[in-house]
């Protein structure tokens, strides 16, 4: 993450805005400058993308990309807290960008008002340091995984349905990828989405916030990211587990010893990326 001297200068306003970071052991001036010089792409400006985007913007991530081809709907507002009733009908990426600019005008926001697919995801993720998966279908999650692994780009995975959620961090070459763990896409209708099974909005907020936390840790270079580990949260019992994952899966079709997925074939990913 190459630092732009002007972009990372700690002006008087920044010293005040980020003061709680600057006195925090593990962040400080060096960490804040890394944040200001960093860039994050969030795919999906919905339930997971809402808290992730707001917290990354509040933290001072210098450039945030928002990719979402949907528009704000009344049914979104139960969990997609970055949007408002007044912005119903607006493109989600633009609505989220407005909220970020209102929160922190220090952040550069780039919007992509279209579904992310196999034809354009490689060019899109190349512009950013890391990616946050805030989508709601398996096709999109496998697409993000495969594109990021092929590009050597770290990303944060999350999924939520009902009262439960999960988070893991994928750093290609340092641990397993999403396909290492889940291998192949489930058949259509085999696993319900939140649209079919429902979802508690507050759980989405917790999981999206954890995605932002993992992203900040990677950028700053502090702590232990969830590499080769998956954090699971059951809100009904408040049972939170950190599940160890295999560090390497030699027969993984995308990051194993003899990968069979070496390019993004559009026929492999049926559904475009959409937000939770």
Q: Three-state secondary structure along 58-86?
A: HHCCCEEEEECCCECCHHHHHCCCCCCHH
Report the length, in residues, of the chain.
Answer: 276
Quickly tell me which residue has 């496998």 as its tokens. Answer: 142
- Which regions of the chain are under pLDDT 70? 1-5, 188-189, 192-193, 271-276
Model confidence pLDDT, tens digit, residues 57-88? 999 999 999 999 999 999 999 999 999 999 99
Put residue 137 in one of left, alpha, beta given phi > 0 → left and psi -120 to 50 → alpha.
beta
Please report the pLDDT score of residue 74 as a whole number. 97
Can you give the pLDDT at residue 190?
Answer: 72
What does DSSP say about strands 229-234 and 164-170: parallel, antiparallel, or unpaired? antiparallel
pTM of the model: 0.94
CA distance 56 to 65: 11
Selection from 231, 46, 51 nearest residue 157 by Cα: 231
Catalytic residues: 194
Domain boundaries along the sequence of the chain? 38-268
Tokens 């009908």, located at residue: 89
Q: Where are the beta strands (DSSP E) in the chain?
A: 39-43, 63-67, 108-112, 130-133, 155-161, 164-170, 229-234, 239-244
Sheet holding 229-234, edge to edge: 108-112, 63-67, 39-43, 130-133, 155-161, 164-170, 229-234, 239-244
The CATH H-level superfamily of 38-268 is: NAD(P)-binding Rossmann-like Domain (3.40.50.720)
């Amino acid at each position: 993450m190459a630092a732009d001297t002007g972009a990372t200068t700690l002006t008087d306003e920044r010293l005040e805005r980020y003061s709680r970071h600057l006195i925090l052991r593990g962040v400080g001036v060096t960490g804040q400058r890394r944040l200001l010089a960093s860039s994050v792409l969030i795919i999906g400006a919905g339930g997971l993308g809402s808290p992730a985007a707001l917290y990354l913007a509040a933290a001072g991530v210098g450039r945030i990309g928002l990719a979402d081809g949907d528009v704000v709907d009344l049914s979104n507002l139960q969990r997609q807290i970055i949007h408002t009733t007044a912005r119903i009908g607006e493109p989600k990426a633009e609505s989220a960008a407005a909220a970020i600019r209102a929160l922190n005008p220090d952040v550069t926001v780039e919007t992509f008002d279209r579904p992310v697919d196999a034809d354009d995801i490689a060019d899109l993720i190349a512009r950013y340091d890391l990616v946050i998966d805030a989508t709601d279908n398996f096709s999109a999650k496998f697409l993000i995984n495969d594109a990021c692994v092929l590009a050597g780009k770290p990303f944060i995975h999350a999924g939520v349905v009902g009262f439960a959620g999960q988070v893991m961090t994928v750093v290609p070459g340092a641990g397993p990828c999403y396909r290492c763990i889940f291998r192949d896409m489930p058949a259509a209708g085999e696993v319900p989405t939140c649209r079919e099974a429902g979802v508690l909005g507050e759980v989405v907020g917790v999981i999206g916030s954890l995605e932002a936390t993992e992203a900040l840790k990677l950028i700053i270079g502090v702590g232990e990211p969830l590499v080769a580990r998956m954090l699971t949260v059951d809100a009904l019992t408040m049972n939170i587990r950190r599940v160890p994952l295999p560090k390497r899966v030699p027969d993984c079709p995308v990051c194993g010893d003899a990968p069979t997925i070496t390019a993004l074939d559009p026929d492999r990913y049926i559904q475009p990326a959409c937000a939770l």
